[in-house]
Structure 1
Amino acid sequence: MRQDPHSTQSRRPRLGRAATALTLLGAAIGLSPAAPAPATVSAAGTASTRVFTADAQPTWQTNGTVWAVTHVAGVIYIGGSFSTVRPPGAAPGTREVARDNLAAFDARTGNLLPLSHRFASPQHTFGESKPDVSCDVDWDAQTYTCDTIYRIKASPDGSAIYVAGDFTTVDGQARSKIAAFPTANATRVNPSLDPGFVPTGVNSRVRALAVGSSAVYAGGLFTQAGGQARERVAAFDRRTGGVTAFNANADGEVIAISLSADETRLVVGGNYNTLNGVAQHALGAVSPTTGQSTAWAWRGVPRTSYITDMTADSNAVYLTANGEGTWDGRAAVDPQTGKLLWFDSCLGASWAVALHGDLLYTGSHAHNCNDTDGGFPEQATDQAEPRYYRLLAQTTRGNSTTIQYWFPSTNGGDPNIPATRSPSKLGPRAMASDGRSLWVGGQFTTVNNVPQQGLTRFTLTARSKAPSTPAAPTVQNSGQNQVTVTWRGVEDLDDPTVTYQVYRGSTLVYRGRASAKPWETSKSYSFTDRGLTAGTTVRYTVRAVDARGTAGAFSPAATATVGRSVEPAEDWSDPWSGGWNQQDPWSETDWNWGW
């Protein structure tokens, strides 16, 4: 078996540390942020769609990796490599319900639905090389099976879903890597396997899927389908599963494909170097009818980058990339011409993408978006405490993109599984919007540092994510009937600034707004509490409140005994502020931001 081609070990040279480095990178690969935008779209970097809150909502979990998420008619379908699901809050191994690589949930309530089928493939023993770690591996018995579901796509009319991956049978019936299920009554019954759609002879993994009005398109590692040569791209009749006359080929793995909104182009992405025999790395387009290549202007994907996921609307095809020491952000391309509309220069492999209105959501392990509007400086390379921003939202319209202030996150994967026995631990691997919520699936076992495995969701209606809890402040007695309180910044995942509140006992004595950006928590802030009585003991706590009124927890308390002034009483009037007013707790004349 092949090694995991998506390993990110030994990746990430020192790129992106300075803006000039990323600018040079963009120029080298032909990523021009000045590409003109279509005249009909909104201004660059703006969006009319509201961003989801960063507060993850109660969601069912899986005991393995979720590789696919899609929404159809009020139902969320997930696929991957798992054998059970369990309710929100349940610990691993408890309250589990059997679901073999495929499950469905009510998009409104989040409840588990009846969909349940058995996916299987032959068992193999270890050979000279290690097995593909994305398969189900028994390391003790040295056997493995590959029956993972990698993609789920719906038909344009929503009447069926198509699932694709490694499996060879479904419920004991032969289904060569692709199967179909009707969606009617999916909230009440377990939909049966479609008996008419029976693709045959697909001789290796299907990793990519797109569904048109009359055909199902697949991409992956296969070289045959239906008894015919089909080099990593094929099309199947949507009704019967028979191979169509469509014939395109790529010389490397096809990982993502997408039909343009009008179904006149099939965009093909992956880790290949030729498409239809012509040098064209990682990205191109073909006719959905014949498979012949169509015009494609942008040839700028670096040799050490490849395309991982795609989605489309009437304006563009949006894509994500994984780069080995180079570009691995997001881009928008015109599917008719292959013209680049915009890109971002973030560093940190991206593997999942979904549209919600005119916002693009992605899953990645971004750690440097310094050269993208709304982004952040290097957070991992050479950092004492590396941090990755695994979920991002950004604008889609115009000739540039702006990252929105929305930074919930997950971990990369189960820390108890060695890296050599797991696909690269990148966290999110799939996502979809149902119009009310964003559903995210992947390898993660925590969301916002709270245990949650395999699946989570974010909504528009939940309260905003509360700011983090400040560390205990420090207090310093100045010996002049006053105490100075100093505290470190907090982080808020969906508000860039917060109001810091300082309490003396139960009395609010100060408030002021300042940064709550996670990459600015090293900043310190201070407030001097004056006019106190010497010899008394005072107790201070600090908390942060976001712009929507969601308050974080109070810090641990710090105490001090007020000293007596040894100087004559001073006139505290300030000609610039009108003077210190001890009765006004909102006065900010004595704050010191300390940066």
Structure 2
Amino acid sequence: MALLAAASLITASASAADTDEKTLTADPLATWQTDGIVWSLEYANGVVYVGGTFNKVRPPGAKPGQREVARKNFAAFDARTGRLLPCALPFSGAGNTVRALKASPADAVLYVGGSFTKAGRASVASAVALNTAGCSLRKDFRPTMSSFVRAIEVTDNAVYLGGDFTRVNGRERERVAALTSSGSLLPFKAEIDGPVRALLAAPEFGKLLVGGNFNMVNGDLERSLVALRPVTGKTVLSYPDWLPLRSSVQALTRDATNFYVAAEGRGTGIFDGRLAGRLGGGEMVWKDTCLGATQAVAVHNGVLYSGSHAHNCRDTPGGFDEGHFRQHFLAQSVRDRHILHWFPDTDGGTGEGNGPRALKMAGQILWAGGEFTTVNDRPQQSLTRFTAGPDRGAPQEPPQLRGSASRTGRVTLTWRAAWDRDNAELKYLIYRDGKLVASPTRRSTEWNRPTMRYTDSVTPGSRHRYRIAVTDGQNASARSKALVVAAVGAVGAERTKARR
């Protein structure tokens, strides 16, 4: 027990060297699943709303087809417990998908966008609003959209919609529009030549940030990112050279001072990572170098969480070289882009194989949705959650000992370092004949697992059994199988033998 108490001094929440940002744990909470892709998440009044392209949901641990409950492209869950809630308005028709969810500032209304013609039994046109109290469809917000709605932002003065559409309520609005809470079209107007995928309001700075797959805005070159005036739609700020040709903005988020961009590049080596900019002056704060089509971002307590299939992050602090794996979740310091030691993972999943598609902080819990079918190598489809603790995950790939003995009674043990999803520094517990004799520590990652060594002094001619375990301070692996070492005397051969 004293040993575990000492080991607990290792921080359970990860941080990069010389930074103090604490991440969530990498251990997923029990979470319901969907039978299709989750595209959007929103949090309001203790409820997480889920939108996507799916027909049913099922409980944690259930396999496809087991214990399924009908939910057509929309579901609601208790944000803290994860319990499925009765709010179950089906969305169907047209593209048969919900792509955008956004709550009003006071959480009284949930706006829903996508490609659908039915909300329950009501005929609609790709955008509606629900009362969060009672989950009832509002009759006053029924705009007629000519095509996909992919993004929604809401302020005290307007509901902004972005997407592929070119007409709203029969009037020209090129891929972005502003409406009142009762669905009337506002004068706000901008000319955008490609789909809008992300909207972010910064009314205190007089801006509405717009991201997507476009090149021209209001007659000027504005590659994938622009800031518009919230009332008129006129361009207020450009971000020249922030994103190269064929790199689009998939998501935007913000904190009090900065905004954060998730980018996807179309083609080999095109910018796929994340960047940060000042909301006020518009200066770039940092830009990372990871490849891997970033789809979602969320910021919490000084940490930027992202969903992508990151690879080749070698030029980003804390990053990794091109290898044989894709990392689908990352955490970075908002101060300097440093990749923090937080590595839960998913597979690419169905659809386009991008894994996570949406992230949302719900209180102290990070919800993630997408097209994945596994989380941390275990079956879990399209939804998962992470929280601040407790840390429940033991280190990965526990070490196995090798050893040799010298003629002077010295036994040298070697092993390959383990790694942990949310702790960089691990402690190795070395036992000789059942007694702890050493507990060295070492930092490691999945892609950097150094060979470690310990030399023990014993009586020449004696025989000993060595075992090793590894702990992150809260969770320890089982002890390894025994390595039996016969320490030779002044004359003789060196001998080692492993036993269970």
CA distance in 2: counterparts of 1:167 and 1:428, whole angstroms: 23
- Do residues 531 (structure 1) and 469 (structure 2) align? no
Change (3 A) 1:451 1:480: farther
Measured after TM superposition, the shift of residue 79 of structure 1 is 0.9
Give 2:484's aligned residue.
560
Task: Please give the alpha-carbon distance, in whole angstroms, between the structure 2 residues aligned to 1:48 and 1:246.
Answer: 43
- 1:219 maps to which residue? 162
The aligned residue for residue 408 of structure 1 is: 344
Equivalent residue, structure 2, for 1:349 = 293
Alignment-derived partner of residue 253 in structure 1: 195
What CA distance in whole angstroms lies between the structure 2 residues aligned with 1:428 and 1:321?
A: 14
2:426 and 2:470 in contact (8 A); partners too: yes
Q: Find the counterpart in structure 2 of residue 13 from structure 1.
A: none
1:396 aligns with 2:334: yes
How much has 1:349 moved relative to structure 2?
A: 1.6
Aligned to 2:496: none
- For residues 115-165 of structure 1, the C-alpha deviation after alignment (integer angstroms, 9 at most, x for no partner) is 10111114xxxxxxxxxxxxxxxxxxxxxxx21111111111111111111
Q: Which amino acid aligns with 2:311?
A: H
Aligned residue type for 1:283: L
Partner residue, 2:362 = 434
> For the aligned residues, what is the CA RMSD?
2.3
The one of 277, 294, 303 aligned to 1:333:
277
For the residue of structure 2 that corresponds to 1:262, the secondary structure is: helix
Q: How does 1:207-246 map to 2 (within 5 A)?
A: 207-239=150-182, 241-246=183-188
Instruction: Report the AA paired with residue 275 of structure 1.
Output: V
Q: What is the aligned partner in structure 2 of residue 286 from structure 1?
A: 228
* Alignment partner, residue 155 of structure 1: 104
Selected match of 1:175 from 124, 133, 143: 124
Partner of 1:101: 73
Aligned pairs (5 A) from 1:198-209: 198-200=142-144, 202-209=145-152
Residue of structure 1 in register with 2:400 after alignment: 472
1:481 Cα deviation from its structure 2 partner: 4.8
Q: Distance in 1 between matches of 2:470 and 2:20?
A: 28
Q: Of 82, 103, 121, which aligns to 2:93?
A: 121
Please tell me whether the aligned partners of residues 101 and 119 of structure 1 are also in contact (alpha carbons under 8 angstroms).
Answer: yes
CA distance in 1 between counterparts of 2:123 and 2:178 reads: 19
Shift in CA distance, 448/379, structure 1 to aligned 2, threshold 3 Å: farther
CA distance in 2, matches of 1:483, 1:313: 55
Of stretches 48-57 and 73-82 in structure 1, the one that deviates more from structure 2 is: 48-57
Q: Give the match's secondary structure for 2:286.
A: strand
Once the 2 structures are TM-superposed, how far is the Cα of residue 236 of structure 1 from its aligned partner?
Answer: 2.1
Confirm or deny: 8 A CA contact 2:307 2:358 kept in the other structure: yes
Conserved 8 A contact 1:48-1:358: no
> 1:472·1:558 contact (CA, 8 Å) conserved in 2?
no
Correspondent of 1:387 among 313, 322, 325: 325
Is 1:446 the counterpart of 2:382 in the alignment? no
Structure-to-structure mapping, 1:186-197, within 5 angstroms: 189=134, 191-197=135-141
Label 1:553 to 1:167 Cα distance change in 2 as closer, same or farther (>3 A).
Answer: farther
Partner of 2:215: 273
Aligned residue pairs, count: 474
Contact residue 254 and residue 260 of structure 2 kept, 8 A: yes
Instruction: Return the structure number with greater strand share.
Output: 2
User: What TM-score, normalized to structure 2?
Assistant: 0.89
Measured in 1, the distance between the counterparts of 2:399 and 2:383 equals 31
Q: 1:360·1:394 contact (CA, 8 Å) conserved in 2?
A: yes
| Letter in structure 2 aligned against 1:117 | L
Q: Is the 8 A contact 1:296 1:339 kept in 2?
A: no
Q: In the TM superposition, what is the alpha-carbon distance from 1:561 to its structure 2 partner?
A: 5.1
Would you say the 8 A contact 1:47–1:396 is kept in 2? no
Which amino acid letter does the alignment assign opposite residue 255 of structure 1?
R
Tell me by how many angstroms 1:336 deviates. 4.5
Is the alpha carbon distance of 1:515 and 1:48 closer, same or farther for their aligned partners in structure 2, counting shifts above 3 Å?
closer
1:141 is aligned to none
Aligned to 1:551: 476
Q: Which position in structure 2 is the counterpart of 1:314?
A: 256
Displacement of 1:302 after TM fit? Answer: 0.2
Instruction: Confirm or deny: 8 A CA contact 1:269 1:307 kept in the other structure.
Output: yes
**Alpha-carbon distance between aligned partners in 2 of 1:340 and 1:376, rounded to the nearest angstrom:** 20
Cα gap change, 1:53/1:261 in structure 2, threshold over 3 Å: closer, same or farther? farther
Q: Is the 8 A contact 2:193 2:215 kept in 1?
A: yes
1: CA distance, partners of 2:459 / 2:65: 57
Which deviations, in whole Å up to 9, do the C-alpha atoms of 1:343-370 show, x marking residues without a partner?
Answer: 2222222110112133221111122333
The match for 2:3 is: none
Mapped to 1, the partners of 2:280 and 2:205 lie a distance apart of 10
Rounded Cα–Cα distance in structure 1 between residues aligned with 2:177 and 2:90 = 25
Note the alpha carbon deviations across 1:365-400, whole angstroms, 9 max, x for none.
122333333x222143xxxxx122221222224xx3
Structure 1 residue 483, shift from structure 2 partner: 4.0
Q: CA deviation at 1:554?
A: 3.0
1:81 is aligned to 2:53: yes
> Contact between 1:479 and 1:562, CA under 8 Å: does it hold in 2?
no
What pairs with 1:516-527 in structure 2 (closer than 5 Å)? 516-521=444-449, 523-527=450-454
Aligned counterpart in structure 2 of residue 378 of structure 1, from 321, 327, 333: 321
Q: Which residue in 1 is equivalent to 2:14?
A: none
Give 3-state SS (helix, strand or coil) of 1:309's partner: strand
The residue correspondences of 1:484-503 to structure 2 (distance < 5 A) are: 484-503=412-431
C-alpha separation between the residues in 2 aligned to 1:46 and 1:542? Answer: 29
Give the SS at the match of 2:438.
strand
Residue 459, structure 1, aligned to residue 405, structure 2: no
Alpha-carbon shift at residue 532 of structure 1 (Å): 5.1
Residues of 2 paired with 1:67 and 1:230: CA distance? 24
Superposition deviation, residue 550 in structure 1: 2.2
| 1:505–1:67 CA distance, 2 compared to 1 (3 A) | farther
Unaligned runs of 5+ in 1: 1-44, 123-145, 381-385, 415-421, 569-595
2:447 is paired with a residue whose SS is helix
Secondary structure in 1 matching 2:30: coil
Structure 2 residue 290 is the aligned partner of structure 1 residue 360: no
What is residue 64 of structure 2 aligned with on the other side?
92
Give CA-to-partner distance per residue, 1:51-79, whole Å, 9 cap, x none: 21111111111111111112112111111
Q: How does 1:35-74 map to 2 (within 5 A)?
A: 50-74=22-46
Per the normalisation by structure 1, the TM-score is: 0.75
